Structure 1
Amino acid sequence: MPGKHRVRLAISPVQGYHVMMSDIDKKYPLALEPPSGDVVPITLEMVSELLRLSRESPRKRMIQPLHKHDGESLHRMFNALQPGTYIPPHRHRNPDKSETVLVISGGMLFIEFDETGNVTSHLIVQPGTAVFGVDVAPGVYHTFFAFKPDTLLFEVKDGPYSRTDDKDIPEWAPAEGTPEAVEYLVDLIKGIMSEQAEPEVEQPS
């Protein structure tokens, strides 16, 4: 299986992560405003600022959309992630959506699940390696985890988007912002790494 090599996954402590999500939303939105203009330069300044904001956010991630509104049929975005961020396992619905993710910097562990929450496959995804991106069919439960600081993704997926029902999160996946989410994330990574030779997993302090 691709990704079957030794890699150090850093699971950083998530101190204070399980605070009220409504309070986080007020100060740290999940996404920035899209840039204006018909032709938008994609600059190092843009992504550097995005990475900085992801380091400051309690969620440890931040999105810079390039599409102008949620109703567009094709969504394009940069997603900046730090180790310790938790994205609940999910699939994109209403309607079913495909998704492509390219890793620009850092490193990502991509995980696929079956309907009951069992891990069916995983991939180590890094720029400059044999696997530098993933394409996900509609209806597939998945998540991903940044195992290097300042991981930057470029994502393309079908629209439209509605925050209330875009992600179909199963009952077996803990909600974001809860103590259970931290424990689930650590156990998930430990379980995957136990399948690999000489795994090295940093525990939360």
Structure 2
Amino acid sequence: MADHDLIDGYLAEIAGRLPSEAVEELADGLDETFQHQLLRGLSPTEAAHAAIAEFGRPAQVTAAFARQSAGRHTAVALLVTAPVYAGLWGTTLITAQAWNWQIPPAAALAFGVTLLAVATTLGIVAKSNNPATARLVGPATVALILLDLGMLAAVATAAPALTWAAALAVPASLIRVAVAGRNLPRVCAR
């Protein structure tokens, strides 16, 4: 690595914001850029300034990492598809006359509060420029899987008959559970 205080300070600032693997990757690229600037005839200080300018301010670099994180992509995908699931399950509950089901009010309230917390968390992650915020997608994904499974269990036990809406909502939720479960290790990795 280029032994220059400016670059060391830049990397130290980024190290507080990004995972160590990302910082190592940035350090390698920054060193290559620094060496290239030296070959162009710049002094070490000028080469360090030029290399850092090419990479951008630490806030820009961390925001770029946040935008590219698996957690953010997952949050956006879950939010974008949420209206489809809401429509499918809303139609299912209406056509199955869910208001007649024997579901304890506390369970319905817990479901609603959890759903709101998941949606809020996914929204925060989708809008955040902080890579650390993307870690919240793991617990939100687990909660969403549990909500889907809870809805599937409620429909299986409480619905009087399978409706056309449930015939669409059930496989959609099963697919979301499978995809979210498969992506869970990726979004939980730091």
Normalised to the residue count of structure 2, the TM-score between the two structures is 0.22
Q: Which has the higher strand share?
A: 1
| Highest RCO, 1 vs 2 (Cα 8 Å, sep ≥ 6) | 1
| Greater Rg over alpha carbons, structure | 2
Q: TM-score, normalised by structure 1?
A: 0.21
Normalized per residue, which structure has more helix?
2
